[in-house]
Every structure is written in C-alpha cells, then in structure tokens.
C-alpha cells in the first residue's frame, strides 16, 4: 500500500507541476505498478474503464469536426450580433454560452475557442479580458456539472458507477443552472463599471473591425455532419438505457458516442478525416487510461476501503454530515489537485461507502461529490483542465495573470456557488429527491 501510494502521490505532484506531459506521467505510474508486481497486465487492463474512454473518444471526435467547421466561432458571433455588440449583454451571453456549451461537450474545447474570441473582442472594446475569461472558466466548470458529458469528473462518476445522462440532468442539472445564474450576477456586479466605460468606445468602426476578424463562413458539409452526429450522440446518451432494454443490445455510454462519431467520420472525405483524427485530443484519452491503472492499484491494496470505513465512522451519526463532507472535502481539494484524478479516486471510495449500512444512497453521494469537484475546480488555475487551457492561452497571448489575481477573482464566486449547492443538496437529501 505504501509503495502504491508513493507512486500515486509522486504522479500527482508531477501532474500539478505542469512540467511534464500529464498523459506520460499517468502511463508511467501505471507501468511502474505493473513492473513492481502491484498489478498484473491483465488486472491493469481490467481496471481501465473502457466505457469512459469510448465516451470521451467519441465526443472528442464529434467536437473536433464542429471545430474544423468553424461552428463554435459562428455560434458565438451570432450571439453577439443578436445583442448588437453591446458590452453588457455581450458579457452576459459569453458567460452563459460557456455554461451551456460545457454541459454538452468537453470544457477544454469550449474554453479554447471562447478564450480566443474573448481576447479579440475585449482588445477592440478596450476591456480587460482576464475577468471575463475567468468568469467563462467558472461558468464552464459549473455548467459542465449539469450533465454526464459536461465535466470529465461527471464522465468518470457516471460511467464507473452506473449513472446515466438523464440522472445527472435531473439531479445536478438544476443545481448547475442556479450556480450559473449566480456566477453571471456576481461577475456582472463586479465588472459593471468597466462595461459601462467600454460602451462609450463602441462605434460603428469598432463593430466593423469585429466582423472582419470573424467573417470566415461555416463549412456547410462539416457542420451538417458534425451536428447530426452530435445530436444523435446526445439522444442516445439520454435514452440508451431504455433503448438497450427494448432492443436487447448492449447500448452503453461508449456506444452512444462512438457509433455517431464513426458514422460522421465515414461521411467525411479522406483529407477531412485525417485532419479530424489528428486534431482529436488523444493525450487526454491516454491520461485517463494511465489514471485508471494507478487508481486500480490503490483499490487493489484496499486503500479506498480503509478510507471509506474511516469516513463512515466519522460521520455515522448524521447522513447530512457525510453528504457535506463529500461535497466540501473533495471540492476544496480539487482546487489544489486536478479534479479528474480526484474524481477517479473518489469513485472507489463511494463504492466502498455504499456497501456500509447507514450511509446515504450512492446516488446522493454522487451528486454531492460531482458538484463539489466540478465547482471546486474553479478555485485555482490548475483545478480543472479548462482552467489550465484558458490560463495558458492568456499567459501566452495577453500577458501574465498570476495565481494571486486568479484567486481574487475566482475564489469568492466559487465558494458562494458551493454554499448554495450545499443548501440544495441538503434539501434533496432531506426530501429523498436523488
């Protein structure tokens, strides 16, 4: 157990340092556990959640098609034109757009195109882009908590513990919606003076410059193929359980994403197909695989069973205490540790907790944990993958942000949303809505 824990902690430190490619760190950690006999090769492969990898791979492929089509930039520009480029609704729409899109796709992709668009728009309007980009990151992580496919922790929790798209949408969805509205209100109140000043600088010439920067037309065929596949995947993710029972076929989350992605790829030309495949985020898929192996090693040495018993013993007198412990403990920890490996580790803790008499239902613990690690990921630049992407882009293209400024901007609203989520979770636990 000590050796396995040391490997895991060292891997965590290496990942958090951002000095090494995180997928190689995770794969090396898994390989060391095999090399030193903690896991056999067969056990290592068995601990990998292939359903999770299939779901991620399928959604990454569909999103890559839409990115190549220019769909996301077009969608953002359409939203801005609807409000005639006024800074206040522009500010609000970009934050809400981040929350909405992140509920249905990887928040990394959302922040890649939104950070670029926001920086260009804010430069033209003489606005500081940093508060808006951080607001978008917070909204993306919070909005991603609404569904199974939103934030990577949800993908892990849902596919490994057996919860569907509709389970998340009906339980964490309303909480995420409330959280997103709180974020919009908070960030608007904090930045309203700067927005009013920017409105003075908004001239027809400025609007013309914005249009020129983003005047590239949509690629019609790629958009049609990508949207068809994406809608098909979302429908299958929502209804795959009843369809599986009705048809007698093993339609799981991976199949729901991979089949539409496969059909979409077949519909593309050879040169388009190659371009899409090269743009798919394969590093994240390898990262997940390595993490599953390292977490599997901790499970094999019964670390999570020990933690589960200690947690259950410490909160045995009150189920609400355990629900809150699962919300705030991992939630605050995810500000320091990437919430993907943290969520993966906690799935095993939840499995062992669910087997202990007197603990809350597994579903209630999942909703509490998901909201904690998703919203808690906002706290620092390395708390979630979307943070790292946006922070790196801004540092490279705008200038230094610094941890201090991130903390000052992101921590207060993140804590407020976590408090509101706590109240809703306690109410859900009280009335049995889980």
pLDDT digits (tens, 9 = 90+) for 38-59: 999 999 999 888 888 888 889 8
Q: 52, 156 in Cβ contact below 8 A? A: yes
CA nearest to 365, candidates 163, 107, 139: 163
| Number of residues in the chain | 434
As a whole number, the mean pLDDT across the chain is 88
CA nearest to 145, candidates 136, 135, 155: 155
Q: What are phi and psi of 158, to 5 degrees?
A: -70, -50
pLDDT (mean) for 281-307: 84
Q: Does the predicted model carry a pTM greater than 0.85? A: no
Which pLDDT score is estimated for 116? Answer: 85
Which pLDDT score is estimated for 386? Answer: 87
Residue 239's pLDDT band, with cuts at 50, 70 and 90, is confident
Distance (Å, whole) CA 103 – CA 142: 9
Alpha-carbon Rg for the chain in angstroms: 22
pLDDT (mean) for 395-409: 88
Residue 295's pLDDT band, with cuts at 50, 70 and 90, is confident
| CA 311 from centroid of its chain's CA atoms | 26
CA-CA-CA-CA dihedral for 230, 233, 237, 241, to nearest 10: 160
Which pLDDT score is estimated for 135? Answer: 97
pLDDT digits (tens, 9 = 90+) for 190-212: 999 888 887 777 778 877 877 77
pLDDT at 149 over 90: no
Distances from the Cα of 224 to the Cα of 69, 284, 298, angstroms: 9, 26, 45
pLDDT digits (tens, 9 = 90+) for 336-391: 777 877 888 888 889 888 888 888 899 999 999 999 999 999 998 888 878 888 88
Which pLDDT score is estimated for 400? Answer: 81
Q: 217, 211 in Cβ contact below 8 A? A: no
pLDDT at 132 over 90: yes
pLDDT (mean) for 149-161: 88
Which pLDDT score is estimated for 319? Answer: 83
Q: 364, 172 in Cβ contact below 8 A? A: no
pLDDT (mean) for 232-243: 84
List, in order, residues 6 or more apart from 235 with CB less than 8 Å away. Answer: none
Which pLDDT score is estimated for 317? Answer: 67
Which pLDDT score is estimated for 215? Answer: 72
* Numbers of helices and strands, H then E, in the chain: 21, 0
pLDDT at 425 over 80: yes
Of 143 and 208, more confident: 143
CA-CA-CA-CA dihedral for 206, 207, 211, 212, to nearest 10: -30
Of 17 and 291, more confident: 291
pLDDT at 148 over 80: yes
pLDDT at 67 over 90: no
List, in order, residues 6 or more apart from 31 with CB less than 8 Å away. Answer: none
Q: What are phi and psi of 277, to 5 degrees?
A: -60, -40
Distance (Å, whole) CA 374 – CA 112: 18
């Amino acid at each position: 157990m000590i050796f396995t824990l040391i490997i895991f902690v060292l891997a965590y430190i290496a990942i958090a340092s951002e000095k090494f490619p995180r997928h190689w760190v995770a794969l090396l950690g898994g390989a060391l556990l095999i090399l030193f006999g903690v896991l056999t090769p067969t056990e290592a492969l068995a601990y990998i959640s292939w359903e999770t990898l299939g779901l991620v791979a399928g959604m990454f492929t569909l999103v890559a098609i839409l990115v190549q089509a220019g769909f996301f930039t077009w969608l953002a520009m359409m939203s801005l034109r609807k409000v005639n480029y006024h800074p206040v609704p522009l500010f609000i729409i970009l934050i809400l757009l981040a929350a909405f899109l992140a509920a249905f796709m990887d928040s990394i992709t959302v922040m890649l195109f939104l950070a670029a668009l926001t920086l260009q728009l804010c430069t033209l309007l003489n606005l500081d882009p940093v508060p808006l980009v951080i607001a978008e990151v917070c909204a993306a992580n919070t909005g991603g908590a609404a569904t199974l496919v939103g934030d990577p922790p949800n993908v892990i929790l849902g596919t490994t513990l057996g919860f569907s798209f509709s389970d998340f949408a009906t339980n964490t969805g309303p909480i995420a919606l409330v959280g997103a509205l709180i974020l919009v209100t908070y960030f608007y109140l904090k930045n309203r003076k700067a927005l009013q000043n920017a409105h003075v600088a908004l001239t027809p010439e400025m609007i013309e410059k914005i249009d020129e920067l983003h005047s590239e037309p949509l690629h019609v065929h790629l958009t049609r193929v990508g949207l068809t596949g994406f809608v098909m995947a979302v429908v299958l993710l929502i209804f795959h359980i009843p369809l599986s029972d009705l048809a007698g076929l093993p339609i799981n989350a991976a199949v729901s994403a991979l089949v539409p992605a496969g059909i979409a790829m077949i519909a593309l030309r050879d040169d388009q197909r190659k371009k899409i495949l090269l743009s798919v985020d394969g590093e994240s898929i390898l990262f997940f695989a390595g993490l599953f192996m390292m977490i599997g090693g901790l499970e094999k040495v019964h670390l999570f069973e020990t933690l589960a018993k200690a947690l259950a013993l410490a909160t045995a007198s009150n189920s609400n205490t355990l629900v809150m412990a699962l919300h705030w403990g991992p939630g605050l920890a995810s500000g320091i540790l990437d919430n993907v490996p943290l969520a993966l580790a906690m799935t095993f803790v939840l499995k062992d907790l669910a087997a202990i008499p007197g603990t809350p239902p597994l579903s209630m613990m999942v909703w509490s944990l998901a909201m904690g690690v998703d919203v808690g990921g906002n706290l620092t630049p390395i708390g979630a993958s979307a943070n790292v992407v946006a922070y790196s882009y801004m540092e490279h293209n705008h200038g230094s942000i610094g941890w201090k400024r991130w903390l000052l901007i992101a921590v207060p609203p993140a804590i407020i949303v976590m408090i509101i989520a706590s109240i809703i979770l306690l109410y859900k636990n009280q009335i049995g809505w889980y």
